[in-house]
Structure 1
């Protein structure tokens, strides 16, 4: 076996200090906070998320917002997880190893682990859970991540994955929140049973409204799950969410109003946290619909946006400018050599002329459900584009149902992406040809070939060259305008103890706050 691709067999971690591997996470608090206390069990935490909609279900293939991600990680078990430092850590799989080509991967299942119902977790449950997202009939958003799997077999308590090509990052695949391990039943999985294997049991779920959970006392990991219970609320309205925190009705809120975050930070009962990661906000153009089929039209729209203005006025400095690709500055293969695109009305006009146009008029759909300040960002974009001869008609749409009725339906819309811990996962999920969440419907043969080749390449320098080129291709040809990377900014009550080092692959400690945080 290739020892360089072999994981340690034990957890070897503390809940509030994750320091394994090379740090790839930037995390900080905006305002000073007290020293992290030792975790203490007890209490019910109430958390209001600026996500969630009435169309949400417990079908893991459909999860796509922060409410459901937090809920998924709270009550479900996963083969692997993302540690606070960005490395991959054992979960239901206690260890894994690969052959020298990273084509055959063996994951050893942790013994003695049960679902909340008391049913033992078996290799057959794992196979059924992964197969649920595979196959021609699958509509799961995780389907592209599993496309290289040719066969899954069982060897005792070990699940063996045979891939069509090598995949150096394959263990990260199973950290995706869709890939929960659920009980097998009737040739598939029984997701309606609500029978998970996470630190909390799901006791009530009201889509778009709330979820209630209680601690699972027989959890396999005694170093997580410190609350007696969790009340998770979907409060998309920013003012209502903020009021709930200030009034003490909830202990935590995400997606703060960055215009007033400084004032909130002065309140002695609150702590403001800002974590830099891979979250980015985009304006997605459907490249299969006119006028976005024209590369020059796409380039004109990319040059017509004032990125720094959005960082200053929408993020209020809590972020950085983007360069029309989804890879963050803290990631291993971020292309630091790619020239940063800037606001240039003259270049925008040039590309319009190259497409045979003297001007352009398009509609941009936006709601703050897409990201905080999305409507304001669209208005600023409208103003900057006007100087380039581009008329943007802002289509203000409702928050509820945005992800089911607007995203990937309207040809030009505002979008947020939480990013992914490794480049392959981000590219595969959102930019590979035919991917369910390829929200620009982009299909570039060169990019697709590089994606497959980079995934299988074990030489770091060669992989870097490929990922650099992929970012360059996206920057020039892609249908996503990526003007800014946004820090995760959230607030907690003073009696909430957070992790000393917080994960940045998703909001609020990688959305694993349920298992990692506690009360004082």
Structure 2
């Protein structure tokens, strides 16, 4: 009872219903000693979001080829920009649970027909009021026959969309999909204002907490707070500045020198150093982030099953976790579903470094000569070192891997999803179907292993479709176990490790105790969730 009473008093204090003195007096009356009462009051006040200030963040992402068109977003800087100026129908909360955003609620009786009830009175930055037509036009932007959007595959199940009045959108799918409300929280699916059924995707106009002021692709973007933001108790900063700092040392120096207030992608090697800086805090979150080395199965020599298996068995995964992540993560098992996902296949045997099996498969492949692995720290901090470790362990087996150092700028447009073997990262997704639809199904542009046409790949695609409609949890779990097994055995993805999100931030920055792990920077929503203390 005492704990509940104090919690209620703390809520009153942060809401301004009582002042600090009244809180302390009530705590003393409840039997709390004075020093503890004062400390509790200070802690409650510090946790109260305050408005104001310029948030400067240095990000390990960005490219000169970036575009404001949400269909093209392919890195976390653009995700952060999109979430700063725009909203989706739904969003993933800090606890990993789905919650409504522009859709005030959503419902379905059969998981095939979904109705999204929109919030009323929401305004775009250009003054237009949000309607069902804007939602339909924004989603259709990714669905055209000639669309190259990474979200095209996610929306492929949609058969039709229609407005039921100004504030209801009815979406008909080609089959039941219990996870569809998660899909529409994807960062590509920012809702934009429409005119005559079309959107201006390059305008950077949305309903978000901040109004885009300037955009320099791969360099810098600035924002001002939206004074008419519909979401209560959010978007606390007056201004934002997002800087692309691809170089790990440059990001580290920027936060140490006070040139920025927060950086993402802290190199595990420098965590201890930054933690010793009196003005900084280290913020770490575990989740679905994983580092990969995708082999394109439509390109030699990776079109050879035995060659792929030889490489998978030639990797020392724990060594990568120990030396690249310095323990800030866990080993992977050549599939993208993490222990944070509901249907993680924990019973799937962990693949280990096995020289005998690696050599057996390598001999069966008939391959000889050098295999090139393209790497850049643009993929993840330590990616080049990780590639060198892979080359070293492969050499023990008798496989010659040559590490090709690629430029950071343009890596995502010139190397990833183009070169036959490269380093990569995936933020992961909250659901199995969403992860598969983003990177593994036959219809997605981001299938970076081009794993589409083998018998196992075809079987995988069949199961993914069937699992969407399966409402029996036991059967669904069995289906997702098989999908992970198929990728693990036949797929082109080498997934050696899952990494924690590591940030360094000024001690002047405050946030809720729990932060999201689905993306870095609190699910890339820190701009509306954090504040200056």
TM-score, with length taken from structure 1: 0.92
Deviation at 1:186, TM superposition (A): 4.9
3-state SS, counterpart of residue 40 of structure 1: coil
CA contact 1:499–1:509 (8 Å) conserved in 2: no
Map 1:98-113 onto structure 2 (within 5 A): 98-99=108-109, 101-113=110-122
**Aligned counterparts of 1:435 and 1:192: Cα–Cα separation in 2:** 22
Name the structure 1 match of 2:421: 412
3-state SS, counterpart of residue 144 of structure 1: coil
Deviation at 1:517, TM superposition (A): 0.0
**Aligned counterparts of 1:38 and 1:187: Cα–Cα separation in 2:** 42
What is the aligned counterpart of 2:499 among 471, 486, 494?
Answer: 486
What is the aligned counterpart of 1:441 among 428, 433, 450?
Answer: 450
3-state SS, counterpart of residue 191 of structure 1: coil
Map 1:492-507 onto structure 2 (within 5 A): 492-507=505-520
What is the aligned counterpart of 2:246 among 232, 236, 254?
Answer: 236
CA contact 2:343–2:477 (8 Å) conserved in 1: yes
Name the structure 2 match of 1:11: none
3-state SS, counterpart of residue 66 of structure 2: coil
- Is 1:67 aligned with 2:80? no
- CA deviations on 1:147-178 (whole Å, 9 max, x unpaired) are 11100011112100001110011100111000
**Aligned counterparts of 2:150 and 2:465: Cα–Cα separation in 1:** 18
CA contact 2:96–2:517 (8 Å) conserved in 1: yes
Deviation at 1:98, TM superposition (A): 0.3
Name the structure 1 match of 2:66: 56
**Aligned counterparts of 1:456 and 1:224: Cα–Cα separation in 2:** 36
The runs of at least 4 consecutive aligned structure 1 residues that moved more than 3 Å come to none
Name the structure 2 match of 1:470: 483
- CA deviations on 1:448-472 (whole Å, 9 max, x unpaired) are 0000001111111111110011000
3-state SS, counterpart of residue 413 of structure 1: coil
**Aligned counterparts of 2:203 and 2:82: Cα–Cα separation in 1:** 14
**Aligned counterparts of 1:202 and 1:303: Cα–Cα separation in 2:** 48
- Is 1:150 aligned with 2:150? no
3-state SS, counterpart of residue 162 of structure 1: strand
Gaps of 5+ in 2: 1-13, 15-42
3-state SS, counterpart of residue 374 of structure 2: strand
**Aligned counterparts of 1:517 and 1:416: Cα–Cα separation in 2:** 25
How many residue pairs end up in the alignment?
486
**Aligned counterparts of 1:96 and 1:397: Cα–Cα separation in 2:** 45
Map 1:70-149 onto structure 2 (within 5 A): 70-99=80-109, 101-149=110-158
Say what the alpha-carbon RMSD is for the aligned residues. Answer: 1.2
- CA deviations on 1:28-56 (whole Å, 9 max, x unpaired) are xxxxxx88621000101100001001000
Q: Which has the higher helix share?
A: 2
**Aligned counterparts of 1:481 and 1:151: Cα–Cα separation in 2:** 37
Deviation at 1:360, TM superposition (A): 5.0
- Is 1:519 aligned with 2:529? no
**Aligned counterparts of 2:482 and 2:47: Cα–Cα separation in 1:** 45
**Aligned counterparts of 1:85 and 1:58: Cα–Cα separation in 2:** 29
CA contact 1:434–1:441 (8 Å) conserved in 2: no
CA contact 1:93–1:108 (8 Å) conserved in 2: yes
What is the aligned counterpart of 1:386 among 360, 371, 395?
Answer: 395
**Structure whose CA Rg is larger:** 2
TM-score, with length taken from structure 2: 0.90
**Aligned counterparts of 1:511 and 1:312: Cα–Cα separation in 2:** 27
